[in-house]
Amino acid sequence: MKPSVAEHIASIVPYPPGKPIEELEREYGISGSIKLASNENPLGPSPKAVEAISAATAKLNRYPDGSGFYLRKKLAEKHGLPFESILLGNGSNEIIELIVRAFMSPGDEVMIPSPSFLLYSLVVRWMGGKPVPVPLKPDLGIDLEKMAEAVTSKTKVIFLTNPNNPTGKVLGKRDFEAFLSRIPQHIVVVIDEAYIEFNTNPDTIRGFDYIGEKWPAIIVLRTFSKAYGLAGLRIGFGAMEPEIAGFLNRVRQPFNTGSLAQAAALGALDDDEFMNRSRELTWSGLQFLYKEIEKMGLSYVPSEANFFLIDVACEAKKVYEAMLRRGVIIRSMASYGMERHIRVSIGLAEENLRFITALKDVLAAMGENDSAQNSKRLSGGVQNR
């Protein structure tokens, strides 16, 4: 007898993560590949985090501090927020799940910009809710006006991503405040700031400024996975009104963040040198890649994050596969509904160069293929006549 699975679970397409280097090399029998697919930090982890991990290993026989006291205290001080406002998560992904679990019931609606981070709608579907995608504006910014218009009595949570993944676009202050003034205060508004450390636009919002009495149901998400280089450890945090944190705490596993992850995050917060290097590498990498893409006659979407979108003017899936064969892992945006776009994360200078060289190669080969097929078609036509 087969176990029965509810239809809302059976119909889910699992999250497609960036292909790991090891998997690619196993499948293709190649080595020396590079991964520019998951917006990771190419510099490696923060050295201060690694040092802190070594020191913390002696206590691995003990359960972690489930309340994450020292890390929450340091985060609260750093961001000028009350200690009770901070909630730790096994990556910010876990907090996305806690939010949906706490505030949405089966049949409720959760509004999501589209395209945006794929996990939001997956989590909503896991829990029997209805994701309501709101298409981006033609300039690929989040359409806050359309989102405000789409609110119904069933809307429980609204996800906003700043900068957005996959576009790298940010939310402006005026638009965001106009949006907020139209949103009923019982709706939870999440501002996912996974990439905010890379932002250079002075007009964008800083989610922490909105936590408080005026807009009680704002939750800001941050992560140590990107600018701090700790994606493998799984640690992130949310900041919100203490009462909201109290609700999320009710649905949180008691030891959701490990002791090494907490120690590493504490170390990383002191590593200004690493943070500055991460930012500078990203900004110089973006400038280099923009210029190269322009020289190739392609268009791109300027980004405030550590990745950006390129319109490859042909089928992105094919470009993705051909790049894989050359040992370069990027993302096709087909699963985000953008058939001609690829997303590339900023790497080390030599990785960026390798990406450009491989892309030129791939597009040239695809062009040759196309013209060979065209001429075949043409000569075929002549023969048929």
Ligand X SMILES: Cc1ncc(COP(=O)(O)O)c(C=O)c1O
Which residues contribute to the site for ligand X (CB under 6 A)? Answer: 39, 91-93, 117, 161, 165, 192, 194, 223, 225, 231, 236
Q: Write down the least CB distance from residue 166 to ligand X, Å.
A: 8
CB-nearer residue toward ligand X: 118 or 362: 118
CB-nearer residue toward ligand X: 39 or 303: 39
Q: Write down the least CB distance from residue 207 to ligand X, Å.
A: 13
Structure tokens at 15: 């999250």
Separation CA 190–CA 212 (nearest Å): 14
CA atoms lying within 13 Å on the CB side of residue 63: 7
52 contacts: CB under 8 Å, gap ≥ 6: 263, 264, 266, 267, 268
Nearest residue to ligand X by CB is 91
Residue type, 167: T
Distance of CA 87 to the CA centre of its chain: 19
End-to-end CA, the chain:
61
CB-nearer residue toward ligand X: 193 or 351: 193
Q: Write down the least CB distance from residue 115 to ligand X, Å.
A: 11
CB-nearer residue toward ligand X: 165 or 303: 165
Helices (H) and strands (E) in the chain, counts: 13, 13
Q: Write down the least CB distance from residue 219 to ligand X, Å.
A: 13
Q: Write down the least CB distance from residue 161 to ligand X, Å.
A: 5
Task: Give how far Cα 222 sits from Cα of 90, 163, 322, Å.
Answer: 12, 12, 34
CB-nearer residue toward ligand X: 114 or 225: 225
Within a 10 A sphere around the Cβ of 150, how many other Cβ atoms?
A: 15
Task: Give yes or no for a contact between 78 and 313, defined as CB atoms under 8 angstroms apart.
Answer: no
CB-nearer residue toward ligand X: 95 or 102: 95
Q: What are phi and psi of 245, to 5 degrees?
A: -60, -35
CB-nearer residue toward ligand X: 155 or 161: 161
Q: Write down the least CB distance from residue 93 to ligand X, Å.
A: 3
Q: Write down the least CB distance from residue 61 to ligand X, Å.
A: 27
Closest to 234 (Cα-Cα) out of 263, 269, 258, 268: 258
Task: Give yes or no for a contact between 232 and 188, defined as CB atoms under 8 angstroms apart.
Answer: no
Query: In 3-state terms, what secondary structure has residue 319?
Result: helix
CB-nearer residue toward ligand X: 165 or 356: 165
Q: Write down the least CB distance from residue 192 to ligand X, Å.
A: 5
CB-based burial, 259-274: b 16+ in 10 Å, e otherwise: bbbbbbbbbbbebeeb
